Amino acid sequence: MKKQWINIGVLTGVFIAAVIVFSYLTNRGNDNMTADLGTATLPTISFSCDGYDVNPLTGYKQEMDIATMRDSVTPVTANQLVMNIDAYNRDILSVSYRVCSLDGQQMLYENIMEDVKAQMTLPIEEGILTEERMLVVELEVESEEVYYYTRIKDPSECNLTSCMDYIYNFHENALSKAENSGISDAIEPSGEGDNTTFQHVTIHSDYDHVTWGDLEPKISGEERWYVMETNASYTSVKLEYEVLCSGEENQTDRYRVKEFFRVRMAADHIYLLNYDRKMEQIFNGSQKVLSEKGLLLGIASYDVPYMVNDDGTIVSFVQANELWNYNQEKDELSLLFSFMDAENMDVRNMTDTHEIKILAVEGNGNTTFAVYGYMNRGAHEGEVGAAVYYYNSSKNSIEEKVFVPSTKSAAIAADELERLVYYSTQKNMFYMLVGGTLYEIDLEKDRREELASGLTEGQYAVSDDGSMVAYQTDGNEDEATEITVKNLEDGAEYNISCAENECIKPLDFIYSDFVVGTARKDDAGTTIAGEQVLPMYKIEIRSAENEIIKTYESDNSYVQSVEVEDGMLTLRRVSKNGTVYSGMNAEYITNNEDKEKSNISLESYSTELKETQMRLTFADGIQDQMPKVLKPKQVLFEQADVEEFDSFQQTEGYYVYAYGELQGIYETAGDAIAEADRQSGVAVDTSLRYIYERGNRDTQYSMEGKDETISAMLQQLQSGKRPAEVISEISGNKGMDLTGCTTEELLYLISRGCLIIGMTDSQNSVILTGYTDETVNYIEAGTGVTGTVTYEQMDQMLSGSGGILEGYLE
């Protein structure tokens, strides 16, 4: 068997060599050999669960940061796990696996098995699965190690099989538009549902949209089932698949679909809690995709990413995680990047854990773009990171400029790297902000220079497109007197300074305009919760040429922070009383600069069959509607430019997961919990400890065995200490800012024994000590008097402070 594999390997090597030689002969105008990404090579694994094949996992070529690998959860029945291996003709020598804590800090069990089969039963030591754990599977594949990650848990109290059966039936009945199947009774049509589109269908959509209208969907290829959460209260499952649907310009259209279910079983009846389906048409340049008005994108998101050249004749756009370029003058459509392969429906190519971001489109159509996340195939297959590419339209080739690897999960790495990576086409320079250091890397001279170091989160700001960065050059966040603002594309920069008794802070960018704040050091104080703050008395918006466009300054208020969205600047203001600051109403500033309007714009239109669709509309129309379709090759070098860094800055904060994906990383626990509640998801800290799960809590809870801690908190509060100080001292600086949460949102933390202090006004506070299904119990900090009120009444009590809350988990 092994000898046969070696012979196949030799033949494969000869074939690849022949392809490269052929590519060279057919690309003689290029200075380098070219080839496409090639096929995926790593094995995949999945798990059997009561007749369902769930959680198909792709492999990693290096060990990952376990605390970030929070994706699927795999049920382990009777301390045994049935694992399926698809080797794809690779020789697997052994299987080893280990069970550890969610943060990877505790090793609980490990085992190795050398009798490798397509289906294997992995025993788990009894007594380990008292709570969720992390499973790491390691395959020895010929000469390399490949790693796979999933959470595992005991599903004995989860009613998982019944929930999976319900989801299967709903899914199949919706596809077939089966009558009297219970779908009408399960969904909750309302004004929240958008019944003008099939792109995003929810539990609030009407029956016709949930059952696909007249699109007549047919599954194409394999369905991928992922168990995302399962507990005694609910089970969440995500399905990924492709469908062929009836078309209009074309007989059929192909779509990528993500379908999410959250269901609960109670008293032998299953309830649909959430339903969310998104579909995006796969753009096929070989079909009818041009009309007299523009590029027909079909059923797609309302915010398809695109970028246009200055002349408005060339556009690059991302659809269904593929990057396309259309040149109107040359009448050419080019597929610049895709992990999918139209000739090979390999499930490994369909894994959708990466993002494509367009960085720049030049006048001639040359496009710079980045790919963030998990690399399905190609030179970096099985790695996570950021790859920057350059498309040369005249050579019809793609050149990889640089790759930055990461050991974090694809979602978290993408979130970090997208904000902190930039490539300058003018200077052939690569910029990376990692571990608090801003690097400038000359790719031609292979030289790395530190532009700034020791930066923390509040000491720098980056524009949305990554081309502009501002950072403090002296002192810490509340002491710096100078900021450098740098245009990374052309290298231009300017400095802003303030007086000695002041501090200057980089806040954000509105397009290319910089938002900067100035504070007086004498204004340092605390919030009413006791947190140290230095609010700003002046906010300025400065142009790329360092001209002051707008200034905000008030005698009666200070600015604590700002937020930029769609050109609107929101000022989070506070008022001062001695050295204590209290929240007040926000103020809004609109910047005069708008995005330059182009000849090409994204518009929606509607038809009877497919309803709302998207189009890249050309103001002057399109004459020739039969474009040439190109697929540029990737330029091959002896060795790709890989920029490795010793360590990435730890992303502090809280992760929100919903609809089967990471939805965001939030600085405060309060913001994370509010968002998780809004999206019916979960929130966890960086150690993957749950701080919120909607619905998964006891109906009542009372603090028991914590009288001593509560007494200590009361004494400190009565002595004049602020809640943040008390929580910090008791928890060892592990407190959480829960400001902004409703009382009902706090119940999950209380059920986990979390002691929470809420401010009722600028001076008085309460400690929350328990709840029932309608009321919450508390102790007045000043008097020690206990009380019970409804959730709404407690919300009203806390509104006197603006909802200031502090707490901690043991």
CATH (domain of 196): 3.10.450.50
- Shortest CA distance to 802 belongs to which of 526, 584, 576? 584
Q: What is the mean pLDDT of residues 467-477?
A: 92
Residues of the chain with pLDDT > 90: what percent?
A: 74
pLDDT of residue 1: 30
Q: What is the mean pLDDT of residues 519-547?
A: 93
pLDDT of residue 529: 87
On average, the pLDDT of the chain sits at 90
Residue where one domain finishes, among candidates 574, 594, 614: 594
Same domain, 451 and 340: yes
Residue 38 lies in a domain: no
277 in Cβ contact with 677 (< 8 Å): no
Distance between CA atoms of residues 121 and 674, nearest Å: 41
Same domain, 309 and 456: yes
Cite the beta strand spans of 32-130 per DSSP E: 34-35, 44-49, 52-57, 73-75, 80-86, 92-100, 107-113, 119-123
User: What pTM does this model have?
Assistant: 0.90
Same domain, 299 and 389: yes
Better pLDDT: 645 or 77: 77
Residue 256 lies in a domain: yes
Same domain, 181 and 232: yes
Which residues are bridge partners to 600 per DSSP? 618
pLDDT in tens, 602-613: 999 999 999 999
Q: What is the mean pLDDT of residues 307-332?
A: 95
Residue 783 has pLDDT above 90, yes or no: yes
Residue 548 has pLDDT above 50, yes or no: yes
pLDDT in tens, 555-564: 889 999 999 9
Question: In which element (H, E) is residue 416 found?
Answer: helix 410-420
- Shortest CA distance to 64 belongs to which of 141, 146, 160? 146
Better pLDDT: 624 or 672: 672
pLDDT of residue 609: 97
Tell me the two tokens of residue 732.
């060892």
Same domain, 471 and 557: yes
Question: In which element (H, E) is residue 263 found?
Answer: strand 252-266
Residue 574 lies in a domain: yes
Same domain, 327 and 474: no
Residue 37 lies in a domain: no
Question: Residue 147 corresponds to which amino acid?
Answer: Y
Which residues are bridge partners to 486 per DSSP? 469, 493
pLDDT of residue 475: 83
pLDDT of residue 7: 36
Q: Which of the residue ranges 18-27, 149-158, 234-243 would you say has the lowest mean pLDDT?
A: 18-27
Same domain, 644 and 551: no
Q: Tally Cβ neighbours within 10 Å of residue 519.
A: 21
Residue 439 lies in a domain: yes
503 in Cβ contact with 518 (< 8 Å): yes
Residue where one domain finishes, among candidates 109, 128, 153: 153
Q: Which of the residue ranges 101-105, 533-537, 700-704 would you say has the lowest mean pLDDT?
A: 700-704
CATH number at residue 560: 2.40.128.660
Position 594 confidence tier, pLDDT thresholds 50, 70, 90: low
Q: Percentage helix, strand, coil, to 5, in the chain?
A: 15, 45, 40
- Shortest CA distance to 353 belongs to which of 145, 47, 58? 58
Residue 748 lies in a domain: yes
pLDDT of residue 587: 92
The most confident of 216-225, 590-599, 696-705, by mean pLDDT? 216-225
CATH number at residue 113: 2.60.40.10
Residue 373 lies in a domain: yes
Same domain, 128 and 48: yes
Same domain, 253 and 314: no
**Contacting residues for 608 by C-beta, under 8 A, at least 6 apart:** none
213 in Cβ contact with 611 (< 8 Å): yes
Residue where one domain finishes, among candidates 693, 718, 747: 693
pLDDT of residue 732: 83
Q: What is the mean pLDDT of residues 215-231?
A: 96
pLDDT in tens, 258-275: 999 999 998 889 999 999
pLDDT of residue 4: 31
pLDDT in tens, 321-345: 999 999 999 999 999 999 987 666 7
pLDDT of residue 606: 97
pLDDT of residue 595: 57
Position 596 confidence tier, pLDDT thresholds 50, 70, 90: low
pLDDT of residue 417: 82
pLDDT of residue 100: 97
pLDDT of residue 650: 54
Position 30 confidence tier, pLDDT thresholds 50, 70, 90: very low
Number of compact structural domains in the chain: 7
Same domain, 306 and 432: yes
Residue 785 lies in a domain: yes
Note down the domain range covering 191. 160-281
CATH number at residue 761: 3.90.70.10
385 in Cβ contact with 406 (< 8 Å): yes
Classify residue 761 as exposed, middle or buried by CB count within 10 Å of its CB (0-12, 13-18, 19+): middle
Residue 669 has pLDDT above 70, yes or no: yes
Distance between CA atoms of residues 101 and 128, nearest Å: 10
How many CA atoms within 13 Å lie on the side-chain side of 809? Answer: 18
317 in Cβ contact with 616 (< 8 Å): yes
Same domain, 229 and 345: no
Same domain, 442 and 469: no
pLDDT of residue 598: 83
Q: What is the mean pLDDT of residues 286-301?
A: 95
pLDDT in tens, 407-416: 999 999 888 8
